[in-house]
Chains A and B, each alone.
Chain A
Amino acid sequence: DADVTQTPRNRITKTGKRIMLECSQTKGHDRMYWYRQDPGLGLRLIYYSFDVKDINKGEISDGYSVSRQAQAKFSLSLESAIPNQTALYFCATSDSGTKNIQYFGAGTRLSVL
């Protein structure tokens, strides 16, 4: 089993719908992150959490929210999806004691029609 698991792997939804992307990890890491990947832009940070009670906005948090339900679980929500949120979304984890070496899930490909 993968250490960082994202569900679903693919999702197609319609404009205005609420959608949740989930991430779970078995690495025992305290830090978790959500990124989106767009062609030519690399990965951009949406939200990050350094522990269960610490959640922070990244550079592109508008239109997104997150929930850290447990140390191992970090979900990303789009309250009202719009087409420009069509992207590849990655969850990552890191241990605060390792200079932030991040480990990534396989990604969720989201299409908003």
Chain B
Amino acid sequence: AQSVTQPDIHITVSEGASLELRCNYSYGATPYLFWYVQSPGQGLQLLLKYFSGDTLVQGIKGFEAEFKRSQSSFNLRKPSVHWSDAAEYFCAVGARAAGNKLTFGGGTRVLVKP
């Protein structure tokens, strides 16, 4: 069975600083990988996804993520955060062999200091 670990429960970053959120997964084959963002009182919005090909993927809101097979990681980055990036971020892995059901990590809550 697949699993996802997000080691950082909370991250505090200053506005304008860079942000990196870590995600490690366990899956026996090449997975489908996703990052979602949940703003307060909102549902989850897809930031970006990786299916195959170029391991650096671009998403919405200036985010990017890099798939590293050797490290089983799919870390999310943003060069310069805005106050509106304060939210909870979830990494998810889709298992191709199981109808692509998603398994989510525990989430990382990002606080942005002025």
Contact = CB atoms under 8 A, between A and B. Distances in A.
Instruction: Indicate the size class of the contact surface on chain B.
Output: 20 to 34
A84 interface: no
Interface in B1-22: 4, 6, 9
Instruction: Indicate the size class of the contact surface on chain A.
Output: 20 to 34
Q: Binding site of A, secondary structure by majority: helix, strand, loop or mixed?
A: strand
A36 B50 CA distance: 24
B38 to A, nearest CB: 8
A82 interface: no
Contacts of B6: 42
Q: Binding site of B, secondary structure by majority: helix, strand, loop or mixed?
A: strand
Interface of A: 4, 35, 40-45, 48, 50, 58, 90, 92, 94, 99-107
A50 B99 contact: yes
Contacts of A107: 42-43
A35 B94 CA distance: 15
B107 A100 contact: no
Contacts of A99: 32, 49, 51, 94, 100
Contacts of A90: 43-44
A106 B32 contact: no
A74 to B, nearest CB: 15
B49 A104 contact: no
Nearest to B109: A39
B110 interface: no
A45 B107 contact: no
A105 B106 contact: no
